[in-house]
């Protein structure tokens, strides 16, 4: 259990009511991490308590506290699988990436709320059964305020206390986002809505766009809109993927100048095939574009170059002081693990 170095690791038993109070007091010691005596250990020590009873007492860990106490933050993003085969693949991926002790993982909210129950199920399963802190993405698409209230109750009842609050994309074929009747129009409104109902009991993240959001032609206006999300209560930001770190650093500088002080976690998605390039509006550095052009008919070589480039991005980001890396994993572990190993060799992430 003393796998975190350097730092202070506090292990506490999970006892209803007492755990939350103990953690809030001990948090003032700024430990690197809390480890709650897990279900198995507790079971051995206390055979009369049922597994469900023990799991129900697992403490709600807030990502804003994890970010404040442990750098760099390493997080992995998954999406809800559509088939049984894909579900098995995700399960295997979670098992493999668990060995890297991520700060947290997150699960996306499907377009139009299509994965609502799956997202909640996967997040609560990860949290309950693997001990990894998990965050649910949530969008405004297709949900009225009453719907959002019901979803938030479902999430918090399932033990989810970390939410990435998003507006979501307009449905396919539409360019303008139209909220449903009594729905919300902007990411900042969702942040405000959740803060209003849940206060500091939840930790909220929001999305940031180093190359500007696709609907906003003016970077200064986009930054002001981002600031609205932070002013409304976002604790941290996760960026859209980018291939050129220059955009990230320039964006961080502009955000700091605009008074945005929360952690801005860079989102990295290694290029795994040539068709992926350009899908999220991220520009390629000219030299990378040239190299990809040479390799475009060799899918394996493209993938290797993608790993090499993402690794060099992560090394530079962490060396220069980025607060962590959020990996868009596409529900696979091999590439992420390879990059993590390279970061470990450089001493940029903990060895466990």
Catalytic sites, residue numbers: 77
Question: Which of 33, 34, 76, 109 contacts ligand FAD by CB under 6 A?
Answer: 109
Question: Which of 64, 70, 116, 167 contacts ligand FAD by CB under 6 A?
Answer: 167
Q: Six-digit token pair at 180?
A: 């449903």
Tell me how far apart the alpha carbons of residues 347 and 326 are, in angstroms, rounded to a whole number: 18
Interface with ligand FAD, residue 266, by CB under 6 A: no
Contact 306, 292 (CB under 8 A): no
Dihedral in degrees, nearest 10, Cα atoms 264, 269, 274, 279: -50
Interface with ligand FAD, residue 238, by CB under 6 A: yes
Question: Which of 207, 232, 264, 282 contacts ligand FAD by CB under 6 A?
Answer: 207
Q: Which one of 27-35, 92-100, 103-111, 251-259 is the stretch in contact with ligand FAD (CB under 6 A)?
A: 103-111
Tell me how far apart the alpha carbons of residues 14 and 28 are, in angstroms, rounded to a whole number: 19
Listed residue (188, 277, 276, 264) closest to 229, CA to CA: 188
Question: Which of 70, 116, 195, 213 contacts ligand FAD by CB under 6 A?
Answer: 213
Interface with ligand FAD, residue 168, by CB under 6 A: yes
Listed residue (162, 135, 153, 131) closest to 55, CA to CA: 131
Listed residue (328, 323, 326) closest to 306, CA to CA: 328
Instruction: Give the nearer residue to ligand FAD in terms of CB position, either 83 or 175.
Output: 175
Q: Which one of 17-25, 91-99, 166-174, 246-254 is the stretch in contact with ligand FAD (CB under 6 A)?
A: 166-174
Rg (CA), the chain: 20
CB of 311 to ligand FAD, least distance (A): 20
Question: Which of 9, 58, 111, 348 contacts ligand FAD by CB under 6 A?
Answer: 111
Tell me how far apart the alpha carbons of residues 326 and 73 are, in angstroms, rounded to a whole number: 8
Instruction: Give the nearer residue to ligand FAD in terms of CB position, either 11 or 114.
Output: 114
Interface with ligand FAD, residue 188, by CB under 6 A: yes
* DSSP type of residue 275: G
Question: Which of 5, 182, 215, 298 contacts ligand FAD by CB under 6 A?
Answer: 215
* Beta bridge partner(s), residue 241: 267
Interface with ligand FAD, residue 228, by CB under 6 A: yes
Tell me how far apart the alpha carbons of residues 18 and 267 are, in angstroms, rounded to a whole number: 37
* Beta bridge partner(s), residue 257: none
Interface with ligand FAD, residue 222, by CB under 6 A: yes
Interface with ligand FAD, residue 309, by CB under 6 A: no
Tell me how far apart the alpha carbons of residues 236 and 229 are, in angstroms, rounded to a whole number: 10
Interface with ligand FAD, residue 186, by CB under 6 A: yes
Residue nearest to ligand FAD (CB): 187
CB within 8 Å of 200: residues ≥ 6 apart: none
Interface with ligand FAD, residue 117, by CB under 6 A: no
Judged by the rule CB under 6 A, the positions of this chain that interact with ligand FAD are 108-109, 111, 137, 139, 164, 166-169, 186-188, 207, 213, 215-216, 222, 225, 228-229, 238, 240, 267
């Amino acid at each position: 259990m003393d796998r975190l170095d350097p730092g202070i690791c506090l292990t506490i038993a999970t006892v209803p009511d007492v755990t939350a109070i103990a953690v809030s007091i001990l948090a003032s010691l700024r430990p690197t991490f809390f480890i709650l005596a897990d279900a198995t250990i507790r079971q051995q020590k206390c055979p009369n308590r049922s597994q469900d009873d023990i799991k129900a007492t697992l403490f709600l860990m807030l990502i804003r506290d994890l970010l404040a106490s442990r750098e760099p933050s390493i997080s992995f993003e998954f999406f809800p699988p559509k088939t049984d085969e894909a579900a098995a693949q995700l399960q295997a991926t979670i098992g493999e990436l668990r060995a890297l002790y991520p700060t947290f993982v997150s699960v996306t909210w499907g377009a139009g709320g299509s994965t609502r129950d799956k997202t909640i199920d996967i997040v609560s399963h990860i949290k309950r059964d693997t001990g990894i802190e998990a965050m649910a993405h949530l969008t405004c698409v297709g949900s009225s305020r009453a719907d959002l209230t019901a979803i938030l109750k479902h999430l918090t009842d399932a033990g989810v206390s970390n939410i990435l609050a998003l507006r979501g994309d307009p449905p396919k074929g539409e360019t303008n986002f139209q909220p449903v009747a009594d729905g919300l129009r902007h990411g900042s409104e969702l942040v405000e809505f959740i803060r209003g109902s849940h206060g500091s009991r939840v930790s909220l993240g929001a999305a940031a766009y180093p190359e500007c959001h696709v609907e906003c032609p003016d970077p200064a206006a986009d930054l002001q809109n981002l600031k609205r999300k932070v002013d409304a209560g976002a604790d941290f930001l996760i960026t859209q993927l980018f291939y050129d770190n220059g955009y990230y650093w320039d964006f961080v500088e502009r955000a700091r100048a605009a008074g945005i002080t929360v952690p801005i976690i860079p989102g990295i998605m290694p290029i795994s095939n040539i068709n992926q390039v350009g899908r999220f509006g991220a520009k390629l550095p000219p030299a990378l574009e040239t190299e990809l052009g040479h390799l475009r008919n060799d899918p394996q070589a493209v993938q290797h170059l993608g790993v090499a480039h993402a690794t060099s991005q992560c090394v530079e980001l962490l060396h220069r002081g980025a607060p962590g890396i959020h990996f868009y994993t596409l529900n696979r572990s091999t590439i992420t693990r390879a990059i993590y190993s390279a970061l470990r060799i450089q001493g940029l992430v903990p060895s466990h």
